[in-house]
Chain A
């Protein structure tokens, strides 16, 4: 495979699930923003642990346990390399990105936030980067401020300095899971730093699709999920600057996160053990490590290039085929967005659209995409969201367009 282009046909052969048909139709999977599919290499790596090297990690001294521990820790190294982390110990395995953000909000938040403080969020956040802060606000009594979103689906940064004035945290998404908007991460982290606020980046939609370097991002914390980047569900990542992680109290308590426990109390282990209480998702971590290696082999520059091209094709095709009947939320410039398309007909509900699409074996997600404040901003209660990844091609987009035309015609009101 060459370094700058993607061979989609070859990639598709690595994904057994995509070979199936539904009612004799080719399965068109356009829901990777919700959860992506798995290449054989990831399944094999996980199966290999179960078949040959499974034991609990960081406990046994027998060889099986050592192999399991080494597989788990190698996955941490792979993830660290993939995101440009200075140290693998800064990579904390969590259940998912949601848990990663909750970890920051609760562990860092309890130690550092007080009444009268402010946390700045954007209106395009996923509920996972809203509710954890609202929960802490209810407990502690700090203020939540919002960066608004423009009609073109961009962050309105006109009053950023004002919003950041006196704020302790800026938490924002690197890429909107509804609009596809790619946010100016470095500009935001620099502004926050200048204002004395820490930054928490929800990178769920960016890490699977873009080259990522957490140092260049300038963030204090970056959270993402394994299951949106070809890995299994049940594994997520919190990357944090070691200085921050070191100074924070633990999140969950239990086995594996302590140095010593007595009747009187405990002392916490060093990072990352401090934040990995209980038996971790061992095989899932190995699966994520294999997913990272699979993406590295393709090359993230090539992944991004493929998706920008497919995004341009999608926008052009949908406009040609459906014109003004179809509303597409988000930036109008393909290079300013990722491969996420929130679609709406004026008179056909997203749920009905996806029902018709299912008849065409086209898998998309209807609903509010866990971003209700954003949906309210655009005065919608649901959109039909199609999203692309490395295994999608123009045939998939043509199938999407055909099915959307069929949905429009079926419900011609």
Chain B
């Protein structure tokens, strides 16, 4: 049985205590997307501002949730800010792979399967995000960890469609 320290690494608690990029962005120009975890009631709001060249100029996170969902969102915001949308999608795919989400695995809402089809650039580094790997040992918490990422992906899809 995995212990609490496998789940709650210090860096996770640090991001929970001091979330990066917390707040709101003006919409427009930023795009606002909400995500829900219907099981536990967690809500996340991702504000993402992309420019015409397809770069994530700014990102802010709102909403409330547990330490896993909040720290994952915080680390995500730090990881994708300043990157291109394409890189951000790659990081998302790499992170979901870290969470062991494959086409036949949990979720299966289509968007995840699609994301998983992406060829992930071997140069993509997850860095701090790898601290969340312990979540895999607590299957009910995987949805907490992926909530922000699914919401970000949805935001990118909505921006593409607009």
Contacts and interface: CB of A to CB of B under 8 A. Distances in A.
Interface of A: 23, 348-352, 355-356, 359, 366-368, 372, 375, 381-382, 410-411, 413
B132 interface: no
B42 A381 contact: yes
B111 interface: no
Given A349-B66, A381-B64, A411-B67, A355 B4 contact: yes
Nearest to A381: B41
A352 B67 contact: yes
Interface residues of B, number: 22
A366 B3 contact: no
Nearest to A407: B4
B3 A359 contact: yes
Contacts of A359: 3-4
Of B4, B17, B68, B69, most buried by chain A (CB within 10 Å of CB) is B4
B66 A351 contact: yes
A351 B4 contact: no
A366 B66 CA distance: 11
Contacts of B162: none
Contacts of A381: 41-43, 64-65
Nearest to A380: B41
A367 B41 contact: yes
A355 B42 CA distance: 15
B17 A375 contact: no
Contacts of B22: none
B74 to A, nearest CB: 14
Contacts, number: 51
B64 to A, nearest CB: 5
Interface of B: 1, 3-4, 7-8, 13, 17, 39-43, 64-70, 138, 141, 144
A23 B42 CA distance: 29
A359 B64 CA distance: 24
A352 B4 CA distance: 10
B4 A382 contact: no
A382 B41 CA distance: 6
A23 B1 CA distance: 8
A382 B7 contact: no
Contact of B41 (A23, A356, A368, A410): A368
Given A349-B66, A350-B66, A351-B68, A382 B42 contact: yes
Contact of B42 (A348, A351, A356, A413): A351
Contacts of B67: 348-349, 351-352, 411
Contact of B141 (A348, A355, A367, A375): A355
Contacts of B43: 381
Contacts of A348: 67
Of A349, A368, A372, most buried by chain B (CB within 10 Å of CB) is A349
Q: Which 4 A-B pairs have the closest CB atoms?
A: A351-B66, A368-B41, A349-B66, A381-B41
Given A352-B66, A410-B4, A375 B138 contact: no
Contacts of A411: 13, 67
Of B8, B39, B41, most buried by chain A (CB within 10 Å of CB) is B41
Given A351-B144, A413-B17, A367 B138 contact: no
A350 B160 CA distance: 36
Contacts of B68: 351-352
A410 B9 CA distance: 12
Contacts of B138: 355
A349 B3 contact: no
A355 B67 CA distance: 11
Given A382-B40, A382-B42, A349 B65 contact: yes
Nearest to B138: A355
Given A355-B141, A382-B41, 13 more contacts: A348-B67, A349-B65, A349-B66, A350-B40, A351-B40, A351-B65, A351-B69, A359-B3, A359-B4, A367-B40, A381-B41, A382-B42, A410-B8
B148 to A, nearest CB: 14
